[in-house]
Amino acid sequence: MKRIGALMVLLLVTLFIAGCWDRNEINDYAFWIGTALDVSENGKIEKTAQIAVPAGFKSSGEGAGGGQRGNIVISASGSSIVDLEQQVQDKLPRKIFLGHRRSIFIGEKLARQGIVKIMDQFTRNTDTRMRTDIFVVNNGEGRDLLNINSPFNPFSAIVAVDQDRFCRLGDTALRDVLLDVGRDGIRPSMPMVEIAPKNKQEKNEIIEVKSVAIFNKHLQMVGEVSGRESLELFWVKGVLKNEFLTEETGEGTVSLYESSLKKSVRTEIKGNRLKAYVKLEGTGRVLENNTDIDISVSSERIPLERKLNAIKAKQVAATIKKLQQQYGQDAFGIGEEFHREHPYQWKKLRNRWDELFPKVEISVTVKLKIQNTGGIGKRVPGIGERG
């Protein structure tokens, strides 16, 4: 009796072995690495996918320029993101696998129209990961970016993530954008990529990550800041960790590598006046000194530090002013600082923050410390006047 029972159980178990509903060989998957979203002429969303072609991987080692691509770029246009996914699937012999998607590129035109309509699936679709980078493509279409064929990595979608990590946010960008969406005292901002070849080699191979797109409450892109200003934006926002800094002192330039960047903001509400005191700190190492200042001598270095601090503070204040006046969007999160420091008064301010932010009086102080003078103290004799 017992044996028959055991036999029955075994037979029953074989039923499950046969019915593998979710059996998927890795060979049957098409790995989706990058997504680009654009708006087409008739107003529909256009989606472009960068899909890995495993057979093409080998060629990437054969040297620059030569060989096939390791990926294929496929486009489709439709009404919703998942509708597009189906269309992309129709063009592929393998099943789409979204778990490896590393980045999303949004064409500037779509970004300016607003991205509310496309955001839901990034958090809802459990096939994707939230650890994704998100970019606006400066003056271009997202699809152009996926066509780039970088010599470093077969996937331009991954190249963009790596490049973003070294200078700005890295692959937490989507999370960081979503964090700012729907909060009253901060407006979302996201990195921008651009394709601007400076020589023949760079063409179709190099992308640049150097600007930041600023969005308003309704997730429409309203403007951008570039280069130094974008780094200052992220510094004041508190997400920048290190940067290269070059300042013109009047007698020549000084370049520092600043790390352990910190910010702290104090806020004050005096009647109708809102005041914010931004303090930026960092420690630096001198990389280049084109002035006659001998930074190995404290009596000369300290005035230099003060000078640099004053210059930097002025620059940051100008960047803040620019955002206040030109775009009127609080990408820094100054409002959230008010929220944290004056939570009860904030309840009266939060709904009209967009009109209040441009009027906030913001003062900036910078405290950069020169911790290290680099490989040499004073300059090598013969370079500069004092030798």
Partner 1 sequence: MKISRWQLFWMFLTLEISMSVWLTVSPTIAIAKQDAWISLAISGVIGLFVTLIFILVCRRHASQTLVEFAQSLFGKWIGRLIGASYILMWFSVSADILRIFSLFIKQYLFHDTPLWVIAFLMIAAMAYINYAGSVEAIARFSELAGPLLLIGIVITFGLNLSNLHPSLILPVYADSGAFSILKGSFVNASFLGESMMIMMLTPFIADSKQLLKPALLAICIPSAVAVVTSVMVIMTFGTNIGSTLVFPYFSMVRFINYLEFIQNMDVWVMFIWIFSVFVKLASYLFINSHGTAQLLGIKNGRIMIGIVAAIIFALSLVPANKIGMLDYAKLVWIPYIFPIFIVGLPIIFLIVSLIKTNDPHVKKAT
Enumerate binding residues for partner 1 (CB under 8 A).
Answer: 16, 19, 21-22, 123, 126, 129-131, 171-172, 175, 178-179, 181-183, 238, 336, 339-341, 343-344
What do you get for the CA distance between the two ends of the chain, in Å?
Answer: 102
Report the C-alpha gap between 73 and 91 in whole angstroms: 11
Q: Judged by CB, which is closer to partner 1: 183, or 301?
A: 183
Q: Judged by CB, which is closer to partner 1: 123, or 220?
A: 123
Q: Judged by CB, which is closer to partner 1: 92, or 178?
A: 178
Report the C-alpha gap between 258 and 252 in whole angstroms: 19
Q: Judged by CB, which is closer to partner 1: 308, or 338?
A: 338
Q: Judged by CB, which is closer to partner 1: 183, or 367?
A: 183
Report the C-alpha gap between 169 and 239 in whole angstroms: 7
Q: Judged by CB, which is closer to partner 1: 175, or 275?
A: 175
Query: Please, what is the Cα angle at 238 between 236 and 239, to 5 degrees?
Result: 120
CB of 20 to partner 1, least distance (A): 8
Nearest to 187 by CA among 225, 216, 224: 216
Q: DSSP letters of 133-186?
A: EEEEETTS-HHHHHH---SS-S-HHHHHHHHHHHHS-GGGHHHHHHHHTT-TT-
CB of 18 to partner 1, least distance (A): 12
Query: Please, what is the Cα angle at 240 between 239 and 242, to 5 degrees?
Result: 150
Nearest to 316 by CA among 354, 281, 287: 281
CB of 311 to partner 1, least distance (A): 28
Q: Judged by CB, which is closer to partner 1: 117, or 340?
A: 340
For residue 47, CA distances in Å to 40, 82, 84, 188 come to 9, 10, 6, 23
Q: Judged by CB, which is closer to partner 1: 16, or 166?
A: 16
CB of 175 to partner 1, least distance (A): 7
DSSP state of 54: G
CB of 328 to partner 1, least distance (A): 23
Report the C-alpha gap between 83 and 45 in whole angstroms: 10
Nearest to 154 by CA among 47, 85, 219, 64: 64
Tokens read off for 28: 């049957």
CB of 344 to partner 1, least distance (A): 6
CB of 343 to partner 1, least distance (A): 3
Q: Judged by CB, which is closer to partner 1: 338, or 357?
A: 338
For residue 380, CA distances in Å to 290, 302, 376 come to 12, 21, 8
Report the C-alpha gap between 258 and 16 in whole angstroms: 60
CB of 362 to partner 1, least distance (A): 18
CB of 236 to partner 1, least distance (A): 14
